Structure 1
Amino acid sequence: MTAPIDAPERERLDAVIATALADLELAFEHVGTGSFLVTLEGEHKLRTMTWLVVQDHTLLVEAFFMRAPAENTAGTYGFLLGRNARTYGVHFSIDRVGDIFLTGQVPLAAVSADEIDRILGCVGTYADENFDPAIALGFASAIEREKAWRAKLAADAGSVTRPA
C-alpha cells in the first residue's frame, strides 16, 4: 500500500481541482485544502450539491440525490441499483437512514482537469436523468396528493365569482 499523500501533493491537487472548477464555470465553495462543495445545475433535479474531497489515497466524490423513499422502498432502491451497472466513476448508494447519494472514489493519480469534468458530468447526468423516475417510485402517494390539491385550487379559483 502506498503512503498517504504529503502536504505539497495535497496542495497541488487542490490547485488542479480549483482551476478545473473555475474553468468549467461551476459554482463552488472551497471549504479547505482539498475540499470543495460544487453546485451542479440540472433540469429535473435542479441542484445537485457535490463534495470533492482529497483523501489520503483517493478523491472522494459524494452528491446528495434524494431523501429515503416514503413508500416502495425496494422498488426505488432496485431501480437505482439497476442503474449502477451503467455508471462511470460514481454509483447510487444509501446511508444509514436510507437517504440516497451518488458516491465514488477516483485514484489521486487520475485526478486531472479532464477527469474532474468527466466525473462531475456523470454526477450531473445521473442525478438529472434518474430523479423524476426515482421520485415517482418513492413518493407516488405524495405526488398524487399534490396533484389533487392543485386541481382543487384550480377548480376553486374558477368558481369564484367576481364583483361587477
Structure 2
Amino acid sequence: MTASGGGAVAEAGARLAAYAAEVGIGCELGGRPGEYVVTLPGEKKLRTVVSVLVRERTTSLSAFVIRNPDENHEAFYRALLRKNLRLQGIAYAVDPDGDVYVRGELPTSAVDEEHLDRVFGVVLAASDAAFNELLALGFLGSMRREWAWRVSRGESTANLEAFRHLLSDD
C-alpha cells in the first residue's frame, strides 16, 4: 500500500507501511494524498489513531487524545503544558473546540524504522499513558455522576475501576 506522489513521498510511504506490517499495527491509506492512518493499540485508551501526512520535505503526525474537558480547565491545560516540556518530537495542541491532540513533524527523509518507532512510542505515551490522569483532571464530576448512577442501579462499574479510589465512598 502506497500513496500517490513524488519519489520521496512514495518511498517514505512504503517504509511506513512496511514498518506497520512488521510491528503489527494497523495502517491504511487516508483520505488525503500522502495520508496514512495508523492505529496504535493502548492500555488505558483502547487505541490511538494517528494521521500521518507524508509530503516531499516533511511528514506530520496528528492524533486525537481527549475531548475538551468538562471542568477544571486551568489545571487540565497546565498539566498538558507541563507534559509538553518532556515530550520529544511532538506536542499537545488544542483545536478550536478545545479538543486535545498531539502533533509533530519530522523530515520525510527520517521516516524509517528507528524514527517511526520512537515517534509512535512518544505519541502513545502522550495519548495512552496520560489518558487516566487527563480524565480525572477534566471529567471527575461526570465520572462521579456515572459511578453513582451505576451503583444505584446495580450496573457494572468495570469501566470505571481505575478511578475507584476517586469515586467510591468505600
The TM-score range, normalised by the shorter chain, is 0.7 to 0.9
Residue matched to 1:24: 23
Amino acid at match of 2:62: E
- Structure 1 runs, 4 residues or longer, greater than 3 Å off: none
Residue matched to 1:152: 152
Q: RMSD across aligned C-alpha pairs, in angstroms?
A: 1.6
Deviations 1:15-63 (A, max 9, x none): 1111111111101212265311111111111111111111242110100
Residue matched to 1:10: 9
Residue matched to 1:73: 73
Contact 2:8 2:56 in 1 (8 A): no
Q: Give the length in aligned residue pairs.
A: 150
Unaligned runs of 5+ in 1: 1-5, 156-164
**Distance (whole Å) between structure 2 residues aligned to residue 9 and residue 129 of structure 1:** 33
Deviations 1:118-144 (A, max 9, x none): 111111122111100111111111011
Amino acid at match of 1:35: E
| Equivalent position SS for 2:69 | coil
1:1-164 aligned at under 5 Å gives the runs 7-31=6-30, 34-154=34-154
Amino acid at match of 1:119: V
Amino acid at match of 2:149: W
**Distance (whole Å) between structure 2 residues aligned to residue 98 and residue 84 of structure 1:** 17
Contact 2:44 2:129 in 1 (8 A): yes
Task: Give the % identical residues.
Answer: 33
Amino acid at match of 2:103: T
| TM-score (normalizing by structure 2) | 0.83
**Distance (whole Å) between structure 1 residues aligned to residue 13 and residue 154 of structure 2:** 52
**Structure with larger Rg:** 1
**Structure 1 residues 8 and 56: alpha-carbon distance in aligned structure 2, compared to 1, 3 A threshold:** closer
Amino acid at match of 1:88: Q
**Distance (whole Å) between structure 1 residues aligned to residue 111 and residue 38 of structure 2:** 16
